Amino acid sequence: MNILSVKNLHKSFGGLYAVIELSFDISEGEILGLIGPNGAGKTTLFNCITGFLVPEKGEIEFESEDLVGLSTFQICKKGVARTFQIERPFLDLSVLDNVVVAALNRIGSRKKATDFALEMIDFLGLEGQKNYMASELTVVKRKRLEMARTLATQPRILLLDEVMAGLNPNEVDEAVKILKEIHKKGITIMLIEHVMRAVMAVSDRIIVLNYGAKIAEGLPSDISNNQKVIEAYLGEDSLNAQG
Amino acid sequence: MNLTLLIQALIGGFLVGGVYSLIAIGLSLIFGVMKIINFAHGEIMMIAMYITYWLFVLLKIDPIISIIIVAPLIFLLGYCMQRFLVNRIIDAPELIQILLMLGVAIVLTNLALFIWGPDHRMAATRFSLSAIMLGGITIDVSRLIAFGIAIIVSIGVFLFLAKTETGKMIRAAADNRLGAQIVGIKVNRVYAISFGVGSACVGIAGALILPLIPLDPYLGPSYTLTSFIIVILGGMGSLLGAFIGGIIIGVAESLGAVLLVSSLKELVSFSILIVILLFRPQGLFGTRNE
Amino acid sequence: MNRNSIIFLAAVLLFLLLLPLFSSSALIGIFILIFFYAYLGQCWNILSGYVGAVSVGHALFVGIGAYISTKLALVWGLSPWIGMFLGGFCASIIALFIGYLGFRFRVKGVYFFLLTIAFAEVGRLIFLHLDVFGGPVGIFIPFKPSFINFQFKGNNPYYYIAMGMMIFSIIVVRIIEKSNIGLLSVAIREDEDAAQSLGVNSFKCKMILFFISGFMTALGGTFYANYFYYIQPDIVFGLGLSVDIILRPIVGGMGTVFGPVIGSFLMTPLAEFTRNYFAKGGYEGLHMIIYGIILIIVVLFFPRGLAPSFQRMYRSFKKNISKS
Ligand SMILES: Nc1ncnc2c1ncn2[C@@H]1O[C@H](COP(=O)(O)OP(=O)(O)OP(=O)(O)O)[C@@H](O)[C@H]1O
Ligand SMILES: [Mg+2]
């Protein structure tokens, strides 16, 4: 059963194509990795799915409903939540309130929303900082806060944009553990990541973008041996040089 | 509708529009370079007008000649304002910047009130009553002169920005402040100069417009608003846009005054402003940046 | 709120309640203005302070409130106490209209300032040309003191009404701040896109707050008309009044419950005292020069307003106390 399917998606910025004829599906409960060099169009894809950008062409179906044309908050209400590559906490709110804002997405009562937010904060190991101002957090904790917030919206699918960037190896392992736990809760995950070790470890399947187009799709083991992917990442020159 | 009257209004508006352009170019330059919305723009013009008026009454210097004195003085005023006030809040939130400029506006208005009193003043210059007749149409000589000089000064500003070393530095700093700093441009100085030049523009416009409108300490806000409208219409930061926008608003107001009631001419420009803000916020010549 | 601050607020309230018993009418007049501007600032704060859509045209709603309740009173003898709600209703409809355009078309920041200024100016120009509303001459309100007419001999009744309005506005803002919509608004103010991506309907939030803000501001307009007995478009719709409205909450600290009140307690007496002092000496304009200079100084040294600075001082004070 597909939870999200993208068909023939196109998005350009004044002549520059950021996403070209992209089609893929994610089935319920899957973890899908999305990789590709800088500027490949990964974030742009997330922006299209979550209504920040309107694609020129194509369909985005979430649980058989079209998302194109819906506004961002409606898409979130349907169950699609995303993190931002560059964290965007509400700086003037406490960590707890940051998460409560998100929890109010599904929970009307402030008390219950707060309880749920606290649960998410615990889950991501932020309980020590819950009364800090978001502006006082370190980058690593800010990434955690991003995750806590999106989880608090109680999504069906989570779009994670480089939540492991800048983490040290231990922190990456921790993050991988968290991802697996989120997955156990029955949340489908799509993650953009440059940290290959992590993507390979958690993904059921991987899609590779280059210059906006899908160049490969398959199991992690297939992807790491795929010639086109290696070319895209290393550049053709290095291949030629190897002869 | 009387056709002559209409053409008359059209020409009159066009000529005043040239002066509006100069006012708006000043505002747009300041905004384009340091992203500061100068809410004291009209007040700077008012001060320039009083200085011009003084020179005219006390020393019998014609407003057109006094530009030579007024322009550097107002340049200095703008330069110092930037140096000592604006520069300290250059990275503050917009609202704070506006509040500061409002504070400056309050001070300038009341300084004028304190020194010169609340009465209306009118400078009856040598050209005040002379007009050129063309067919049934009269053209005010003062307006014609004001228009001519405004155009010359505007072109001067364009050339200054395009050709001179300082002008190039100003454009570089406007484009990319960090980059400009990296290549060794003293951005603070460039900012102060830009503020000075922008102020001098509106100062000269003040001297030009003095023979055309009654002067009192309270005329600032209305010209500040008009210049905002022009700048939004032309596109924030676009000098060409400010120039053409000025002419358009001049003509629109003047036609509005003839077709509606003269006191309703502002309604035309505010309506234009609302429409532009909603449907084309980047203005006629601006590029939209998200 | 802890016990100390409740005791403090109760003491202030008691003092203000008793003040008219032992002070001059002139002083009471100043307090009326303090309350009045605190009230208007608070109304503005609801929209601009919390959700960050900064209006520089709030005089529009004052004007609407003043003109509608006054006209209804003059033509049909309708008590301003009822008319003020009709005025408020009209104002909130207009607020919704402006909000709809502004928020739907994503007019933000400076552009939103200018949009609100433009609407206020359009309102001013329209009322200047509506002869039924007295046009540029304005409306002089005949003095017929009675509670029903919202007119009183002496300042004391106005004092208590203005104080009541201010307290009412503080309570409203406090309730909003503690409610879900208050929290969501701050999120929108901090980062609208991020808030939307977490399911916040920012359009709806802003519309609700604009509605409340416009409604309450118009009530202030009715007070204005019946306190000054004279309304004129250039005054009640003017940019000057709009600026007066936003000045105090910004100085005090926007987006805080007590910012507008603190701002008004500082700036209003300052304006009034300097005015009285220098006007007597025949120095016209001088008081406003000083007022402007103080405004500049406050902006330069307290760019976030005074209330946050007070809070910080208070916090570090508490920390030091508990350490020693
Ligand atoms: N708002 C925008 N306006 C114009 N161009 C954009 C915009 N957003 C992205 N682009 C361009 O689209 C292309 C794809 O960008 P995108 O951010 O999607 O890449 P990415 O795969 O997320 O890269 P990275 O790994 O560096 O995050 C880039 O060339 C980028 O410059
Ligand atoms: Mg990216």
Task: State the Cα–Cα distance between residues C212 and C99, nearest whole angstrom.
Answer: 12
With a cut of 0.85, is the ipTM above it? yes
Residue spans of alpha helices (H) in chain A: 42-49, 72-78, 95-103, 110-123, 139-152, 169-184, 196-202, 220-225, 227-234, 236-242
**Tokens at residue C234, please?**
């250039």
Tell me the residues surrounding ligand 2 (ion) with CB < 5 Å. A 43, 85
Task: State the Cα–Cα distance between residues C46 and C40, nearest whole angstrom.
Answer: 10
**Tokens at residue C153, please?**
């001999």
Q: What is the DSSP letter of A125?
A: T
A33: β partners = A191, A206
Question: Do A54 and A37 touch, CB atoms closer than 8 A?
Answer: no
CATH architecture observed for domain B3-279? Orthogonal Bundle (1.10)
Question: Do C210 and A94 touch, CB atoms closer than 8 A?
Answer: no
Task: State the Cα–Cα distance between residues B266 and B108, nearest whole angstrom.
Answer: 24
Which of A71, A100, A106 lies nearest to residue C183, judging by beta carbons? Answer: A100
Q: Residue C12 C-alpha to ligand 2 middle, in angstroms?
A: 55
**Cross-chain Cβ contact A90/C198 below 8 Å:** no
Minimal Cα–Cα distance from C25 to chain B, Å?
28
Minimal Cα–Cα distance from B47 to chain C, Å?
14
Residue of B nearest to C121 (CA): B270
SS3 C229: coil
Which of A77, A84, A98 lies nearest to residue C199, judging by beta carbons? Answer: A77
**Tokens at residue B139, please?**
């053209």
Express each pLDDT in C198-242 by its tens digit. Answer: 999 999 999 999 999 999 999 999 999 999 999 999 999 998 899
C7-44 residues labelled b (16+ CB within 10 A) or e (exposed):
eeeeeeeeebeeebeeeeeebbebbbbbbbbbbbbbbb
- Of the listed ligands, the closest to the CA of A16 is 1
**Tokens at residue B264, please?**
């309703």
Residue numbers in C near B261 (CB within 8 A) = 129
In chain C, the domains with their CATH numbers are 24-323 (1.10.3470)
Confidence label for C1 from pLDDT (cuts 50, 70 and 90): low
Scanning C135-194 for CB atoms below 8 A from A yields: 179-180, 183-184, 186-187, 189-191, 193-194
For ligand 1, atom 17: residue with the closest CA: A43
Q: Touching A: which chains, 3+ CB pairs < 8 A?
A: C
Express each pLDDT in A55-108 by its tens digit. Answer: 999 999 999 899 999 999 999 999 999 999 999 999 989 999 999 999 999 999
Express each pLDDT in C234-269 by its tens digit. Answer: 999 998 899 889 989 988 888 999 999 999 998 898
Mean pLDDT estimate for chain B:
88
Minimal Cα–Cα distance from B285 to chain C, Å?
16
Residue A42's nearest CA partner among A199, A201, A242, A202 is A199
Mapped to the 3 state alphabet, what secondary structure does C60-113 carry?
HHHHHHHHHHHHHHHHHCCCHHHHHHHHHHHHHHHHHHHHHHHHHCCCCHHHHH
**Cross-chain Cβ contact C125/B88 below 8 Å:** no
Q: Which atom of ligand 1 is nearest to the CA of A46?
A: 18
Residue numbers in C near A81 (CB within 8 A) = 197-198
**Cross-chain Cβ contact C107/B278 below 8 Å:** yes
**Cross-chain Cβ contact A150/C198 below 8 Å:** yes
Q: Residue B32 C-alpha to ligand 1 middle, in angstroms?
A: 26
Question: Do A16 and A186 touch, CB atoms closer than 8 A?
Answer: no
**Residue B290, pLDDT above cutoff 70:** no
Question: Do C185 and C254 touch, CB atoms closer than 8 A?
Answer: no
Total-model pTM:
0.90
Confidence label for C91 from pLDDT (cuts 50, 70 and 90): very high
